[in-house]
Structure formats: C-alpha cells, structure tokens
Structure 1
Amino acid sequence: MLTLALASVRLRWASFVGSFVALTCGVALMAVSVLVIAATTDVPDQGRQRFSQAPVLVTANLGVDFRTATGETSTTPVAAQPGLSPELIAAVAATGRAVPDRTFYAQLADGPSSQVGRAWSAAELGGYRLTAGSAPAADDQVVLGGGSPEQVGRPVRYVTADGPHTATVSGVTEAEPFEHAVFFTDAQAARYCPSVGVLAAFGPADAVRRAVFAAGGEHVARVLTGGDRAQADPHHAEVSHRLEDVQTPLGLSAAVSAGTAVFVVAGTFALSIAQRRRELALLRLIGATRRQLRTLVHREALVVGVLASAAGCALGAAGAAPAGRWLVERDLVPPGFTVPIAWWALLTAAVIGLLTALGGVLLSSLKAGLISPGEALADADVERPSRLSLAFRWTAGLLVLGGALAAVAVTAEYWPDAAANAADSLSLLLAVVAGCVLLAGVLAGPTIRLLTLLPGLAARLRGRTAEDGGGIVWATARQSSLTAFRRTAATTTPVVLIVAFAGCLLGSIDTINRAQVTEVRNRLAAADFVVTPAGTPGLNRAVVDRVRAVPGVRALVTTPTAVLAADVTGQSLVPFRAAAADPAALAEVDRLPVVAGSLADLRPGSVVLSRTWPGSPQVGQQVDVRLADGTPRSLRVAALLGTGAEAVQAWVTPADAVTGGVGGPALTDRIDLRLLPGADRQQAATALRTAVDGLGARLATPEEIWSGATDSTEEASWNALLMILGLAICYAAIALANSLVMTVTDRRRELSLLRLAGATKAQVLRAVAVETLLCVAAGTLLGALGTALSVGGSWAALTHLVGPTPAVVPWGVLATLATCCAAIALTAAVLPAALTLRGRDGQSILRGATGPA
C-alpha cells in the first residue's frame, strides 16, 4: 500500500497540493511559535549585572506556612519582604566580609522612572568605577551612575518616597545597561531604606549556607551562587516577566494554528477524496477492500505529512529570526533577543504536523471506505452530501456550540470574574468558534438562501420564478453554490474561521477593556480631579501632603498593598491586590459599587472585599488573611463590592496595610479629589497644579483618565490581534485560496456546459465571481453570528460583575477581514477559471474536460 500511495501522490499531485500547502504553512507557524517559546524559557545572559562581583548572595525570602485543604503544608513567600534580620546579617558577616545592599526609589529631576538609589559600598558589586570625582563623603553628596564629568561639584535635585531633596554631585561613573543608579553614603541610604534585601557575602559558600540555615533556612532567606545569582537582579526579573508575558500568546497562537490545521487539512483531504471518487471506486471494482482503501488514504496522508512537515520545518527555521525581530521592534521582548534554532522544537512541530495530517484524514478515510464499486460505472458526477458527513457536522457542531453557550451562561451567572480575564475565558471563545466552524458546511446553504431571498421575493411579485430574480448570472451562481455542497463548504469554512475567531477574541477583549473603563468611570463619578504620576513610578509623600493641604478639596489617597488568602481550591496561599485608604474619604470621594454592607463600617480590623473573593464571604463574617508581610489577621467583612474587572479586590484601612519593606515605603498610586461645597473650581485647580509642580505628578480630570485607559486597551487589543490572530488568519486565508484552486479541475465540465448553453466568457466569469461572493458573504454572516454569541456572553457576565457596560463588536476589523477574504477568494476562483476559458470555445473546452473520444 505504501508503494501505491507514493505512486498516487506522484501521479495525482494536483489533488494533494492543497493539503500539502496547508499543512506546510501550519507546521511552519507551529515551528516558529515553538522556537520562540523555547527562546523565552531562559533569560539570556545579560552580561555584567548588579551583583556580578559577589560570589555568594543572600536574598530575603520570608515565607509563611499554609495548610492546604488536603492536609499538606506549603510555604508561600510573602508579597512584601521585610528584609534580612540583623541577626542573620551578623551571622553571615561572621563567615567573612559582607556587603549589604539597600535599593530604594530615588529619581533625578530629569531621570527615568526606573532610576534607583543605592549605597556606595554596594557599587563594587556591579563593577562600578568612578570616571570623575570621588565617592560621597557626606549625606548631602551623591555619585551619579552614567553622569558626565561636568556635573561634578554641581547641585542636583532628586525625589525619594518622602519628597524632594538637593545634593551635590561628588563623582560620576560610567553608564551601565542594567540600571540607572544614584549612590549615597551608607548612612543616608540606611535612612531612606532601613531594610536590607540582598547581602553580598565573600566568605565560603558552605559557611554562608550553614549560617542561613541556623537562622531559619529558606523560610527567611535564599543563598544564591553561580548562575543563580542573576535571580537577585531586578533586571533579570523584569526580563523574565516580559518573556513569560510573550509565552502565553505564543502558546495560544501555536494551539490555534494546530487546531486550525486540523480543520483545514480535514477539509482539503475531504475535497481530494471527493475529486478521486471514481478512481477509488475503480480500485473497489478490481478487488480492493474497504480496509485497503482506508489504509491507502492513511498512507497518502502520511506521505504528504512527511513532505509537508519537512518543508514546514525549513520555513519555520527561516522565519524564526524575523519573528524575534518583530517582537523586539514592538518592545514585547528586551533588545538583543534572538531565537536560536533548536532541533527538538522543529521535531515537535514535525510530529504535530504528522499527527495533524493523520487526524485530519480520519473522517476522509472512512468516507473512502464507504465508496461502492458501482460508482465507477456512473456517468454523472452529481454531488450528494453524505448522510454520515451531515450527521457528524450537525451532531458535533450542535454539541460543541451548545456546550460552549451553556458554559458561557453558567460562567456569566456564577463565575463572572472569569469573564473579566481574556486568558481565562479563551477556552470558551475557542469552543464557540469550533462550533461555528463545524456547522459552517451545513448552514452555508440555508444562509445563501437567506441572502438571496430578497431578489427572489421581488421576482415573485412580478410573477416570475425566484431563480429569475437577479438575472441569469445571479440564478446560475445561486444554484451552483447550493448544489456544489463540498465547494461551498470548503469556501465558507475558512471565512467562518477567520471572522468568528477574530470577532470572538477581539470583541471579548474590547468588551473586557470597556468594562474596566466603565468601572473606573463609575468609581470616579463623584471626583472632580485626579492626581496621577508623571514620569515617576508613583506619588511621593510630599505630593500627598501638599495636595491634602490645599483648601476646599477632599482627598482620597490610594496606596497599593497586598492581602494573602487561600485560593478558591484551598490548595495554595496567593497574594491578592489590595489598597489602603481612609474610610471616610473612600465613601465620600469615590463611588465604589457596594452590593452589600456599607463603606461607613470600614475601620481597623475590617475589610471591604470584591464579591468574587474566594469562598464567597458574607457581610459580618470573619475572614482569615495574611497581610503583605505575612502577619496573620482576622478581618470582619464590612462590605462587598460588585467589582472584578479592575484589579483591586480588597480595601483596608492604613492600620491593616503593610505598604513598605524591601525597597522602602510604597508610593501612592493615585489621589482622587472632590471639591467641597462652596469651593471655586478654577482656584482649586490652580492651587493643586502649584502643589504638584516639579514633584513628578500631574493634575488631570476624570475624563482624561478614562481616555487614557481607552487608548491603552486599544493598543493591547491590537497586540493580541497580531500575536494570536495573525498567524491563524494568514493560515486560514491560504486554506481558502487552496480550496478554491483545487476545485478548478472539477469545474471544467461545468464551465464548458455553460459556454455550450450560450453564455459568454464574461458571463461565466461573473457567475463564478458571484458564487464566490455568496459563499464569502455566508461565511461572514455565520462568523458574525458566532461573534455576537461570544461577545454577548462576555457582556452578560461583565454586566453582572460591574453593572451596565457596553458590548463591543469590532465591526471595522470584521469588515476588513471579510473584504480580504473576498479578494483572496475572487482571485483564487476567477483567475483559474479565466485561464481555463482562455482562447477556447465551448466544444473545445468540453473535449478538454472529457478527454478524446
């Protein structure tokens, strides 16, 4: 059978070219995705870093023990590390020289937001060397990392967590790529940041480990040596986080490409089997069994899969470098990111390609086995949809789509917070898309009848038949699309996939983003002004004090913190984002969506929670939590919020908030302001602008905050489109063109009959074009229907979560994609038909189609 399969592929290569091209593209896309994911698993060597010159590092790693629901005990690091204890520092110092590192927020007036302050004694750990001047000798002196020699002796202004300061530049060092630093004396650094987050030890590593073990072991600190020392560098953590953010959409892209490949390969192989039906019937006539036919089809798929996988791996290897450059250009990964060629990644893509080919041909092989020997004697080649195929499409499609819609409804009612996260709801979106794709073939005909209903009604009103409603070209195209079941399904399915997938994903993302904007808008409904950071990571204490001192305004200061609690499964302790605020100002300035209880009851020892909090606590109930530094606390639930789209899930008073630790005090996120009765708006605005001037803050209106949130969410949506949708859409578009080109040989007899019936070449081509556009329009309508179902489910869940919020359907994107599908389909259908009709009359076409007598 393998010899026969090789001969069949070689002689009937035109029947397999569509499957080959589709599978090649799918393997290439998966190979690129797997190669890029493999490149992001490890943080590349960044060269010299903050602690490169330290042989051993001891980092703060305070953890709390948590007893899971199954009785096991796990240790979870706290969200706000309090730093290394003096006893541990002394124990490590007893093993040899030790240099404590204190890193805190310190930013020059014109410095970047990532600028930090450090003690000069720790400069040697990163290999800093003075290029001009001297080390700081007094508390009012600093050394600028990357400064110019002309700055030595000049005063500079800098800002820390407590406000603005002035110092004299005593020296400068060369610029280092891993950080922007300002160095202080050790005493001044200890005032700004009492906690020691990292201790560089120069004693024997084993002695350091024994000292740390005696002080509590990994429950309080970690000992890093060798390559693990890079984990203590914040630049390493930032790069690792950015690479992890890329892994998720790339993994989704690979999964979507694999799923798309199954649909496309199944469709192209099914079309190939339909084209070779008489040939397979002849094999049955000369004695081939059903099992042998199924084996033949599987062997053909294996041959095509091997060849396509090899070609796809070659294309994937060639496209890995451009993919890496694309990620760098959009600042999704750090500069210098490269994608090396890993043989195991290419092998993985090849294996997936082979499995896809064999899986995609499974149903086609069953159809081939059902071909009877008598079909070899049939003169007509009229398409009759297989009952098995129709039953499978209806059953599978309705089960998948119905199950997806039921899951969407249950999620909207009982777990609406899952709908607020695009990654969590992606499986439901893909299920809706899969259901639409499975039903595309059987719903294409009724949809085309619906689209052609209006001309038919107009014809009947004039006393003519429905087929005469749009003229002979229209009637021919309509009947051809309705009778050519396989061609219509092969054309409609990729369009449904493109439109439904883009609409479901982008529509849900945009709806989630609008819900977040709606939540911010509702919260700021009573605010008149908002103070936000301007080129800084947060607001310092001086900004808070000056804003509070402005007469005629009520200020709500929001400071980020964290609260640790058991997750919904009870298997782990996880940090939830929380915020600390004054209860009276919180109730007066902001409009939080309270669904139970009252903000007036928020006081020390209580908490306001989102109603999506694990365990669904009730008002008045005590909840056991851990504060950001691991301190156990039992808090009474004062109120529940109908919130979840925004990240803050708990509100506490400053007395129950830990807002400092390694790195110094936390900076304030935002200050919401409300004018008091009788206050003049213009005067208050002027006073507020004067108060924040030069402190890294700006005064904005709530409308400006909403607008900025909308702009950022639109950019996020387009990144999702390019990273997740781009490859799958290109793949489906190629499949659309392949399917239409494959049907050219089947249409020669049809086109010849139209020419013999008196149709001109222009009429024939117009009929082909109209038929193609009807199929694309049907696919667009079905894809839009899937989009409406998906977006509707997201909208229902988010409305249940945050209140009235708009549903967003990306009509512009869908229209653009539908137009592209129409252009691709017209080119792939009309151009081959024109080449077939070129320079030949009807009889010559007929002879060319049927062969010599």
Structure 2
Amino acid sequence: MFSLVLASARTRLWQYAGVLVVVVMSSALVTVLATVLDRVHRADTGQAAMKSAESLLGLVGGTSGLTAWLLVVNTMSLVVQQRRREIGALRTVGATARQLRLQITGEALVISLVGAAAGAGIGLAAAGPALQWLVRNDVLDAGPTAGLSLPGFTAGVLCTTAIALLAAWTAANGPMRTSPIAALREAEAERRAMPPGRAVGALAMLGLTWAAWDWYGHRDGPHEAVNGAMALCLLLILSVWLLIPLLVRPIAALCAVPGRLLSRYSGTLAAANSTAATRRVAAMAGPVLIAAGLSAMLLCGNAVSGEVESRPVARTAAAVADRAAAVAERAEAPAASARAVPVRPAEAGAADAGQAGQAGHAGHEESRPAAAPERGDGGRAERQRDRNAVGMRILMTPLITFSAIGILNTLLLATRRRRQEFAVLRLTGSTRGQMLRMLGWESAVVVLSGLIAAAAVVAVSLGGLCARADLPAADLLELLPWGALAQVAAGCAGLGLLGVVVPGLLVMRVQPSRTARDVG
C-alpha cells in the first residue's frame, strides 16, 4: 500500500503542487509564530509580553490556518472530483472505499510531511528577522533574542500536517459514499451540485452563525458590537463557501449576461460551460470568495472599529458640554432677576457675591471635564493607530499570499484538466482567438461570482454592525476603505484572468488531434 501511495503521489505531483506550496507557507508561518512565542517565554519579559505574543500567535495563526485549511480542502476536493472516473473504475474491479480513502489520505500525508518539514526549516530561518521586526515596531517588548526552537519546529510540522490530513479526509469522504456505477456516471455528467454531507455542514454552520450573533447581541459596548460583526462575517464566509455549489448557478447565469450580449459565440459558449459545470465553477469561485471576503472583513473592521469605539466618548463629551452650558445659564439667571427686581444695597452686595461664587463654580464645572480628555487621548490614539496598522500588515500579508496561491492553483488545475474539451472545440472549427475569449469570459464569471458572494456577506455583517452600534449607513459608507477594497477586487480579477488564460494558452499549443488521442 505504501509503495502504491508513493507512486500515485509522484505521478500526480502537478496536481498537488498548489497544496504543497500552501503547506510549505503554512508550516513556515506557524513555525515563526511558535518560535517567537517560545523565545518570549524564555526571555521572561513579563506577563504583558507573553499575552501580546499569545494574542499574535492566536490571531495570525488562527486566521492563516483557517485560510490554509479552506484552500487545501478546496484543492483536494477538485483533485478528488477529477479522479471520479478512476475511483469508479477501481471500485468496479473490487477496490473498497476504505482502501481508496486511505490511498488519497496517504498521498496527502506524504505531500504534507515533505512540505511541512521544508516550511518549518524556512520558518526557523525567518523567525529571527521576524522577532526583530516585531520588537522594532513595538508589537513586542525588547528582550527576546533570536535562536533555534525545537517546540517551534515541532508545532509547524504537526499543525500543518494535521490540517492537510483533515482536509484530505474531508474531501475524500463524500465521493466514496456513492456506488461505483454512479461514480462512473458522474465522471461524465454532473447529476447533483451539492453533496449531502456538505449541505448538512452548511446548515450546521448557519446555526452556529445565528448562535454567535445572538450571543454577542446580549453583550453591551461598542467593542462587543465590532467583535460580533467580525464573527458574523467569518462564519457567514464559511457558510457561503459550503453553500456555493447551490448559489453559483444563478450567480453565474447573471454574471454571464454581459458575455452573451457582447460576444455571440465566445460569450454564449462560456455561459453554457459555466452553468453546466457547477462543481468546477464553485471550486474556482471558492478561493475568490475566501480571499475577497476575509480581506474585506479585516479592512472594514479596522476602519469602522475606531469610529464605533470613539462614538461613546464623543457622546459623553457632548453631554458634558451641554451640562456646562446649563450650569452657566443657571448662573446667569439670578443676575437677570437682580436687574429686574429692586433690592437694597446690602442685599445687592450679598447677591453679587453669590453670583460670583456660582459663576466660578460653573466655570470650574465646564473646564474640568473639557480639559481632561485632551491631555493624553491624542498620544494614545496615535499609538493605537500605529499598532492597528502593524497588526493589519501582519494579518494581511499571509492572507493575501495564501489566497493568491489558492486562486492560481485552483484555476490552473481546473483549466489544465479541460484538454479534451479544448481539443474537441478546436477540431470542430473554433479558432484560438475564440477559445481565448471564451476563457476570458469564463474567468470573468468565476471572479464576479466570488466577489458578489463576498460583497453580500460583508454587507450583511456591516448592516448588523450598524444596527448594534447605532451607526447611520451614510456615516458607514464614508468610513469604508474604498480604495483598498477596489485593490482587492482588482487583484482577484487579475489572478482569475491569469489562472485561466495562461494554462489555456499552454494547452492550445499542442495539436488538437494529439491532445484528443492522449486524453482518450
């Protein structure tokens, strides 16, 4: 069995190339974070430094680990889908579902161990510069020094291998439940877009989303409102990613309308391909949803959190100013009545003294709360903005890198497997230009499907934040980082076009008759 697994992994190395790259990067990142935590612990710089390092490890490692797991699951699902004919043939000649599941999981184990070991070595080399950068940017206190860390290396290898194995087991579990004849039939034509297990997982994730949102709703404060919106967005991204095989057909049909109108042959053919191959389009749009959704969640959350958390302070300052104005009006009232009502000289002197005392008390009431917030808030706000900027760079760098690799790998894998389809189209008279335009329209459908799903998720989350934090929609629209969001959308579009057109060009360089003969 082991020799069969090694031979199969070696022959399918091009399929696992994207998984291997994601595993290497994930292992390197986990190793860096675990090494930083270990060096901080050894330096014994205090509880504050330990809490900062633990928060960094938990936030960056959790976000990046979730992204890596989703991308590995997405790639493994596409690999297993493309092996449905092989799986059906092997089960027809007597192979059991357990044997095939162990073979696929064993291939993932071999790939993940090699990638995790290489990534852990890279992480140990990069941990020293990363630690110095964190200290230099005041993320960590001075004191920890660079050095090798056996716990960091072990954590990188074990965590990444566990992620890859769980992803492979999840991807291989669904197709093994179908009969051999059904597997052979579905290899030629898709009969159902949504596996039952994925549908159950999506319903469970939606229930968890509602429970988390309800739990945050019973907690007061702007900080809890922001955390609730971020948790809602993250869980909704997972739910929509699970449901995307059902959602992608109507979304793809809508996104294909411009292609139908502008290109009668290429656009119509691209629309037909997108609506017919639901699983393939869903697998290709999944990384776009993950990349755009998580990036927009972090960008919008960072932009809105400062405003939402400062609104109670602004309301308190306004209330203090109103109170001071009311006190000043009450202090002026006796003076006006004294001018209107005649009094004796002795009483006038006492009234003047009382008015002076009340005016002095009003001035004291007015100046005391107004001067306090201005002394230290400016420096604290600036330091917090700097920390937020550093934290955003730490979070966005691995997220963008993982997402870019996931998008390119999925699109390259899905397009390269369509060699026979391209050969048939070429043999029936389609030109290279028509084929490239078709691929361009298909990439537009894939990217738009992922971006529309991500935009819907982020809009729902921000709407919930507006309701919880009493923030008007007009103010929210002014706070959003539209330039950064446009860059995310443009990056996804560029990666989508690159991941579809480049392998299409490589496939179309081969003669159509030779391609059809080799695939057949």
TM range (shorter): 0.7 to 0.9
The answer for the alignment partner of 1:628 in structure 2 is: none
Q: Aligned-pair distance for 1:435?
A: 1.8
The answer for the alignment partner of 1:222 in structure 2 is: none
- 1:18 partner letter: G
CA distance in 2 between partners of 1:323 and 1:476 (Å) = 49
The answer for the alignment partner of 2:346 in structure 1 is: none
Could you say if the C-alpha distance between residues 766 and 852 of structure 1 is closer, same or farther in structure 2, counting changes exceeding 3 Å? Answer: closer
Equivalent residue for 1:782, pick from 453, 460, 485 = 453
Q: Aligned-pair distance for 1:360?
A: 0.7
1:728 correspondence with 2:399: yes
CA distance in 1 between partners of 2:183 and 2:219 (Å) = 57
- 1:472 partner letter: Y
CA distance in 2 between partners of 1:288 and 1:477 (Å) = 37
1:528-574: per-residue Cα shift (whole Å, max 9, x none)? 8xxxxxxxxxxxxxxxxxxxx9x999566xxxxxxxxxxxxxxxxxx
Secondary structure in structure 1 of the residue aligned to 2:140: coil
The answer for the alignment partner of 2:468 in structure 1 is: 797
Equivalent residue for 1:305, pick from 112, 116, 120 = 112
Report sequence identity in percent: 27
Secondary structure in structure 1 of the residue aligned to 2:417: helix
The answer as to whether partners of 2:91 and 2:180 remain within 8 angstroms in 1 is: yes
Could you say if the C-alpha distance between residues 519 and 375 of structure 1 is closer, same or farther in structure 2, counting changes exceeding 3 Å? Answer: closer
The answer for the alignment partner of 1:771 in structure 2 is: 442
1:435 correspondence with 2:102: no
Could you say if the C-alpha distance between residues 370 and 340 of structure 1 is closer, same or farther in structure 2, counting changes exceeding 3 Å? Answer: same
Equivalent residue for 1:499, pick from 284, 288, 292 = 292
Q: Aligned-pair distance for 1:254?
A: 0.8
1:196-248: per-residue Cα shift (whole Å, max 9, x none)? xxxxxxxxxxxxxxxxxxxxxxxxxxxxxxxxxxxxxxxx55xx535532431
Gapped regions of structure 2 (runs ≥ 5): 322-356
The answer for the alignment partner of 2:83 in structure 1 is: 276
The answer as to whether partners of 1:517 and 1:709 remain within 8 angstroms in 2 is: no
Structure whose residues are more often helix by fraction: 2
Could you say if the C-alpha distance between residues 753 and 554 of structure 1 is closer, same or farther in structure 2, counting changes exceeding 3 Å? Answer: farther
The answer for the alignment partner of 2:71 in structure 1 is: 264
- 2:151 partner letter: W
Secondary structure in structure 1 of the residue aligned to 2:470: helix
1:416 correspondence with 2:226: no
The answer as to whether partners of 1:393 and 1:438 remain within 8 angstroms in 2 is: yes
The answer for the alignment partner of 2:31 in structure 1 is: 31
The answer for the alignment partner of 2:190 in structure 1 is: 384
The answer for the alignment partner of 1:393 in structure 2 is: 198
- 1:11 partner letter: T
Q: Aligned-pair distance for 1:729?
A: 2.8
Could you say if the C-alpha distance between residues 341 and 439 of structure 1 is closer, same or farther in structure 2, counting changes exceeding 3 Å? Answer: farther
Alignment coverage as a number of residue pairs: 484
Could you say if the C-alpha distance between residues 518 and 298 of structure 1 is closer, same or farther in structure 2, counting changes exceeding 3 Å? Answer: same
The answer as to whether partners of 1:776 and 1:821 remain within 8 angstroms in 2 is: yes
Could you say if the C-alpha distance between residues 518 and 745 of structure 1 is closer, same or farther in structure 2, counting changes exceeding 3 Å? Answer: same
- 2:450 partner letter: G
Could you say if the C-alpha distance between residues 828 and 336 of structure 1 is closer, same or farther in structure 2, counting changes exceeding 3 Å? Answer: farther
- 2:199 partner letter: W
1:290-369 superposed matches below 5 A = 290-334=97-141, 337-369=144-176
- 2:417 partner letter: D
CA distance in 1 between partners of 2:94 and 2:492 (Å) = 44
Secondary structure in structure 2 of the residue aligned to 1:15: coil
The answer for the alignment partner of 2:305 in structure 1 is: 512
The answer for the alignment partner of 1:581 in structure 2 is: none
Structure whose residues are more often strand by fraction: 1
Q: Aligned-pair distance for 1:8?
A: 0.7
The answer as to whether partners of 1:33 and 1:250 remain within 8 angstroms in 2 is: yes
Secondary structure in structure 2 of the residue aligned to 1:14: coil
Could you say if the C-alpha distance between residues 803 and 826 of structure 1 is closer, same or farther in structure 2, counting changes exceeding 3 Å? Answer: closer
The answer for the alignment partner of 1:22 in structure 2 is: 22
The answer for the alignment partner of 1:211 in structure 2 is: none
CA distance in 2 between partners of 1:249 and 1:383 (Å) = 47
Q: Aligned-pair distance for 1:833?
A: 1.3
1:319-352: per-residue Cα shift (whole Å, max 9, x none)? 2233223323433234565443211222122111
The answer as to whether partners of 1:506 and 1:810 remain within 8 angstroms in 2 is: yes
The answer as to whether partners of 1:301 and 1:361 remain within 8 angstroms in 2 is: yes
Q: Aligned-pair distance for 1:819?
A: 1.2
The answer for the alignment partner of 2:250 in structure 1 is: 446
1:343-382: per-residue Cα shift (whole Å, max 9, x none)? 122212211122212211223322342454447977x954
CA distance in 2 between partners of 1:470 and 1:852 (Å) = 30
Equivalent residue for 2:48, pick from 231, 241, 263 = 241
Answer with 1 or 2: which has the greater Rg. Answer: 1
Equivalent residue for 2:430, pick from 743, 753, 759 = 759
Q: Aligned-pair distance for 1:26?
A: 2.0
The answer for the alignment partner of 2:13 in structure 1 is: 13
Could you say if the C-alpha distance between residues 719 and 817 of structure 1 is closer, same or farther in structure 2, counting changes exceeding 3 Å? Answer: same
CA distance in 2 between partners of 1:669 and 1:41 (Å) = 38
- 1:516 partner letter: E
Could you say if the C-alpha distance between residues 367 and 299 of structure 1 is closer, same or farther in structure 2, counting changes exceeding 3 Å? Answer: same
Could you say if the C-alpha distance between residues 421 and 524 of structure 1 is closer, same or farther in structure 2, counting changes exceeding 3 Å? Answer: same
Indicate the larger mover: 824-833 or 242-251.
242-251
CA distance in 1 between partners of 2:298 and 2:109 (Å) = 33
- 1:447 partner letter: I
Equivalent residue for 2:279, pick from 481, 486, 494 = 486
1:672-700: per-residue Cα shift (whole Å, max 9, x none)? xxxxxxxxxxxxxxxxxxxxxxxxx79xx
Could you say if the C-alpha distance between residues 813 and 469 of structure 1 is closer, same or farther in structure 2, counting changes exceeding 3 Å? Answer: same
Structure with bigger RCO (C-alpha 8 Å, 6+ apart): 2
Q: Aligned-pair distance for 1:727?
A: 1.3
The answer for the alignment partner of 2:333 in structure 1 is: none
The answer for the alignment partner of 1:851 in structure 2 is: 518
CA distance in 1 between partners of 2:403 and 2:63 (Å) = 11
Secondary structure in structure 2 of the residue aligned to 1:829: helix
CA distance in 2 between partners of 1:294 and 1:327 (Å) = 43
- 2:427 partner letter: L
Q: Aligned-pair distance for 1:284?
A: 1.9
- 1:848 partner letter: T
CA RMSD of aligned residues (A): 3.6
1:144-192: per-residue Cα shift (whole Å, max 9, x none)? xxxxxxxxxxxxxxxxxxxxxxxxxxxxxxxxxxxxxxxxxxxxxxxxx
TM-score (norm: length of structure 1) = 0.51
